[in-house]
Amino acid sequence: MQKTLNNKAWFMVLPVLFIVALNAIVPLMTVVNYSVQDTFGNNLFFFEGTRWFSEVLASERFHDSLLRQFFFTFTILVIEVPLGVGIALTMPRRGFWSSVCLVLMALPLLIPWNVVGAMWNIYALPDIGLLGYGLNWLGIPFDYTQQPVSAWFTVILMDVWHWTSLVVLLAYAGLRSIDDNYYRAAQIDGASRWAVFRYIQLPKMKHVLTIAILLRFMDSFMIYTEPFVLTGGGPGNATTVLSIDLVKAALGEFNLGVAAAMSIIYFLMTLLVCWLFYTLITQGEKK
């Protein structure tokens, strides 16, 4: 007996499509429109073609911001992923202390991004901040408002404090999903702690770690609020990552054509790198 298809269900999707169009497609089309035109006000636009894209791609300023962005993203991934997995491995799997650890790990994620930047702004001040004053008291010159190295150290430390918890929670969920029989079999075989991690825990965490790496890459590659509140991109342009440079071009200089072209390049780069990450990470699984 052939079933009759009811296509009326598609009407239930229309409100969702409408909301997505308003929140994503329409703003994107507006940016695309500005990226190929120039304006002098009064709604008078002049078609410029790919001029703004060529200007952005040839700009030394864009190259420097992009290099700083990749440096920041690579650094926090190298630190946060192994650190998050290590913390998850030390957490108890059951009982009261398991709940306590989960709550403590979730606390940094509940704090708004602008509040995190403001907290670390005060915490790292060289004169009155606990971190800044403590390092200077130990004889380590530290002033994130004047020294680029100190500024980068503070920005990276702030991000590690804020977002390592996400990796911990995802890795912990992966560990909790492992059946106890695997551990019993490893114990009977006399497997070492490293062998258990290498052949049981790490393969079972592969999916959640893939999600963790993708989420942390996207978040770190698009980060804006925390470093802007903390350093404002300074000292000088030392911590001016791509998102901060984009906002400066759009709102500070009101250079809408360049900012729109940079936004599209930024968007396409994020999609491309995320796709490459996902493809490389899941390549072994397909084989």
Q: For residues 111 and 158, give the distance between their C-alpha atoms in angstroms, rounded to a whole number.
A: 12
Q: Whole-model pTM?
A: 0.85
User: Which residues is 46 bridged to in the sheet?
Assistant: 38
pLDDT at 157 over 90: yes
The 3-state DSSP class for residue 39 equals strand
User: Domains in the chain and their CATH numbers?
Assistant: 60-239 (1.10.3720.10)
The single-letter DSSP state of residue 36 is: T
Nearby residues of 98 by Cβ (< 8 Å), 6 or more positions away: 91, 92
Share of the chain above pLDDT 70, in %: 95
Q: What's the confidence (pLDDT) of residue 85?
A: 94
Q: Is the pLDDT of residue 286 over 60?
A: no
Q: What is the predicted pLDDT for the residue at 46?
A: 80
- Render 254-270 in DSSP notation, one character per residue: --HHHHHHHHHHHHHHH
Q: Tell me the one-letter amino acid at 284.
A: G
- pLDDT tens string 87-145: 999 998 888 888 898 888 989 999 988 899 999 999 999 888 999 999 999 999 999 99
What is residue 166's predicted lDDT score, i.e. its pLDDT? Answer: 93
User: Both tokens of residue 129?
Assistant: 């901040």
What's the pLDDT band for 6 if we cut at 50, 70, 90?
A: low
Residue 20, pLDDT above cutoff 70: yes
Confidence of residue 191 (pLDDT cuts 50, 70, 90): confident
> How far, CA to CA in Å, does 146 sit from each of 131, 175, 240?
15, 43, 14
| CA–CA dist 227, 120 (Å, integer) | 10
Q: Please say whether the beta carbons of 220 and 71 come within 8 A.
A: no
What's the whole-number average pLDDT of the chain?
Answer: 87
Tell me: the pLDDT tens digits for 236-255? 889 999 999 999 888 888 88
User: What is the predicted pLDDT for the residue at 180?
Assistant: 86
Per-residue pLDDT for 152 more than 80?
yes
Residue 154 has what pLDDT?
Answer: 95
Asked which of 35-39, 67-71, 152-156 is least confident by mean pLDDT, the reply is 35-39
How confident is the model at residue 3, as a pLDDT? 61
pLDDT number for residue 139: 92
User: Which tokens belong to 187?
Assistant: 């114990």
